[in-house]
Structure 1
């Protein structure tokens, strides 16, 4: 990671963006394979089932928000696959989430991000407000889309 962060910012961001797209997409793909029975060796554990239920209910905003957490990305991306979220719908959450993740890691890093949030520094507050605003916009867009889709079906 230190090697990538030593590159010019745009190249580092693009590399990190590509890495997280591939990793998260592969995790989603594994979840889809498990859901369709291709890898039917074990039943998913309770954490993975709970994540799949949340992802199925809330969709793309959950996927996006998972990239702002430590430890939830893998569970949420696998849960999206297990829940049977369609690829286009998954991409709506994946792309902005990957962009957020790449931005944090190519600039200040996750540790500094968490410290900035805890200390309440001006820069940390701006980053936190921006992240929260982005997640809120994604949630509102998803809810509006769901309502619109529901009214079209009725």
Structure 2
């Protein structure tokens, strides 16, 4: 898929990324909205009731729709902010007006800086077995760190 995206002209790349992020944001909004309506016992429903979405809900309550727009400029906040908007039952037209400029900004950022960084990394390790090993090791360390943090959070909530 990355090769297909990389082969697009700049305008096509921005349009494709915009479509992808709109679909993802809408899916998150509607799944969280549905989780509030009756799927609370599901894994998704428990995530919507979790601390991340609770923090995003407080930000959303304080700043309103612009918080949704600005969340697209961050890493890690946009999903919980879209979920918070759905879980709080933000009116869809208001959410849509807040979401669309954020999606446009996200698409432009990833079409320029995001892909440039990705291709720089791929290019730097393409001919280097050591580079590939380093990337695999870094990925493994990141996965272990995420797992350890998840276990610590779960223990903190339970105990």
TM above 0.5: yes
**SS of match in other structure, 1:108:** helix
CA distance in 1, matches of 2:115, 2:66: 20
CA distance in 1, matches of 2:116, 2:50: 29
For the structure 1 residues 111 and 13, does the alpha-carbon distance in structure 2 shift closer, same or farther, using more than 3 Å as the test? closer
Q: What displacement does 1:6 show? A: 2.8
CA distance in 2, matches of 1:47, 1:7: 36
Answer yes or no: is the 8 Å Cα contact 1:56–1:84 preserved in 2. Answer: no
| Equivalent residues, number | 111
CA distance in 2, matches of 1:53, 1:18: 28
Instruction: Please name the residue that 1:131 is paired with.
Output: none
Instruction: Please name the residue that 1:100 is paired with.
Output: 105
CA distance in 2, matches of 1:57, 1:74: 18
Q: Which has the larger radius of gyration?
A: 2
Q: Which TM-score applies when normalising by structure 1?
A: 0.66
Residue 109 in structure 1 maps to residue 114 in structure 2: yes
**SS of match in other structure, 2:73:** coil
Within 5 Å, which residues of 2 pair with 1:32-51? 32-36=33-37, 38-41=38-41, 42-43=45-46, 44-51=49-56
Structure 2 unaligned spans of 5+: 118-159
For the structure 1 residues 83 and 70, does the alpha-carbon distance in structure 2 shift closer, same or farther, using more than 3 Å as the test? same
**SS of match in other structure, 2:58:** helix
**SS of match in other structure, 1:77:** helix
Q: What displacement does 1:46 show? A: 1.5
CA distance in 2, matches of 1:56, 1:47: 14
Q: What displacement does 1:110 show? A: 7.0
Q: What displacement does 1:40 show? A: 1.7
Q: Which TM-score applies when normalising by structure 2?
A: 0.64
Q: After TM superposition, what 4+ stretches of structure 1 lie above 6 angstroms from structure 2?
A: none
Q: What displacement does 1:23 show? A: 0.3
For the structure 1 residues 56 and 84, does the alpha-carbon distance in structure 2 shift closer, same or farther, using more than 3 Å as the test? farther
Structure 1 unaligned spans of 5+: 113-154
